[in-house]
């Protein structure tokens, strides 16, 4: 796990406030897939979340009566999660250090899988799943919907950042029909029925809240504080009072092979 992956704890409260949550349609898609090859009498009852952050995905699944064990390596993020979802069992751990005793009907990662170590990733995910259990990974960047506003922000941000995105861990091009981690799942003999879909999502917020959202992005968190403040101040100056973002979620699903 790299330094950027552990940079969020310093802004845990802002992360909770300004990062969008997950819509019911996402949970619907995961649960429908999970039960498609199984019996309706054995729905998903237990789940493990990898890198749960402040618990935004945890609460979406616990709201459906699923017993989610939320894991998170950063103690400050985990403390915020425990405040937000006090009933959920939690474990402070990286994915790589999770104990392999318990297994679950569902293992999922919400915008966190790219922080895990590639070596042994799928062996560990499979070992945490019950036979024919479901693995799910979902997330996606937020893009300003207005091209003129997006260009104005890009001009400012490039003065401070080479790139504020996270590249595909396996080098899959952005225009590839199958995106990562679906590409790796297709190559793994431990998983089958790999499926990719998109959940439409639009988010509208005041311009200053968008800047607060940017302050929780790992690339900005790596900047020295005075530089980060200057960059965000300049971005705020080119924003309208309200912005809309395309925040579509890419969902990857797979069943563990038996």
In a domain, 45, yes or no: yes
In a domain, 172, yes or no: yes
Distant-in-sequence, close-in-space partners of 73: CB < 8 Å, separation ≥ 6: 1, 5, 6, 51, 92, 93, 94
What pLDDT is attached to residue 5? Answer: 47
Distant-in-sequence, close-in-space partners of 200: CB < 8 Å, separation ≥ 6: 248
In a domain, 238, yes or no: no
Instruction: Report cis status (omega within 30 of 0) of the bond before 167.
Output: no
Q: Helices 225-237 & 147-157, crossing angle to 10 degrees?
A: 150
In a domain, 61, yes or no: yes
Domain membership of residue 182 as a residue range: 3-143+167-204+245-256
What pLDDT is attached to residue 7? Answer: 64
Q: Rounded to an integer, what distance in angstroms lies between the CA atom of residue 184 and that of residue 196?
A: 12
Which CATH number goes with the domain that contains 74?
A: 3.40.50.150
**pTM of the complete model:** 0.92
Residues present in the chain in total: 258
Tokens of 94: 């990286």
Strand partners, 192: 255
In a domain, 55, yes or no: yes
In a domain, 109, yes or no: yes
E strand intervals along the chain? 46-50, 67-71, 90-91, 104-110, 129-139, 143-144, 191-199, 202-206, 242-246, 249-256
What pLDDT is attached to residue 42? Answer: 62
In a domain, 42, yes or no: yes
pLDDT tens per residue, the chain (258 residues)? Answer: 555 545 676 789 999 999 999 999 999 999 999 988 654 546 899 999 999 999 999 999 999 999 999 999 999 999 999 999 999 999 999 999 999 989 999 999 999 999 999 999 999 999 999 998 999 999 998 999 999 999 999 999 999 998 766 678 888 998 899 999 999 999 999 999 999 999 999 999 999 999 999 999 989 999 999 999 999 999 999 999 999 999 999 999 999 998
What pLDDT is attached to residue 37? Answer: 62
- Helices first, then strands: H and E counts in the chain: 10, 10
What pLDDT is attached to residue 201? Answer: 95
What pLDDT is attached to residue 9? Answer: 67
According to DSSP, the β-strands at 191-199 and 104-110 are unpaired
In a domain, 130, yes or no: yes
Domain count for the chain, please give it: 1
């Amino acid at each position: 796990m790299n330094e950027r992956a552990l940079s969020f704890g310093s802004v845990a409260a802002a992360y909770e406030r300004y990062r969008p949550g997950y819509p019911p349609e996402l949970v619907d898609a995961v649960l429908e897939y999970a039960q498609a090859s199984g019996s309706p009498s054995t729905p998903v009852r237990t789940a493990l979340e990898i890198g749960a952050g402040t618990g935004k995905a945890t609460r979406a699944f616990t709201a459906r009566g699923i017993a989610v064990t939320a894991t998170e390596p950063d103690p400050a993020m985990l403390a915020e999660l425990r405040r937000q979802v006090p009933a959920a069992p939690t474990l402070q751990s990286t994915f790589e250090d999770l104990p392999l005793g318990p297994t679950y009907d569902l293992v999922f990662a919400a915008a966190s899988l790219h922080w895990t170590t590639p070596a042994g990733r799928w062996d560990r995910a499979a070992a945490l799943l019950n036979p024919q259990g479901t693995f799910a990974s979902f997330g996606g960047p937020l893009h300003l919907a207005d091209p003129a506003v997006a260009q104005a922000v890009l001009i400012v941000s490039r003065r401070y950042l080479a790139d504020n995105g996270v590249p595909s861990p396996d080098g899959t091009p952005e225009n590839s029909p199958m995106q990562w981690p679906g590409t790796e799942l297709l190559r793994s003999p431990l998983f089958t029925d790999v499926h990719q879909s998109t959940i439409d999502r639009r988010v509208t917020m005041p311009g200053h809240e968008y800047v607060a959202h940017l302050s929780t992005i790992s690339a900005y968190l790596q900047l020295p504080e005075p530089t980060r403040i200057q960059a965000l101040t300049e971005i705020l100056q080119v924003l309208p009072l309200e912005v809309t973002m395309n925040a579509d979620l890419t969902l990857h699903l797979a069943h563990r092979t038996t």
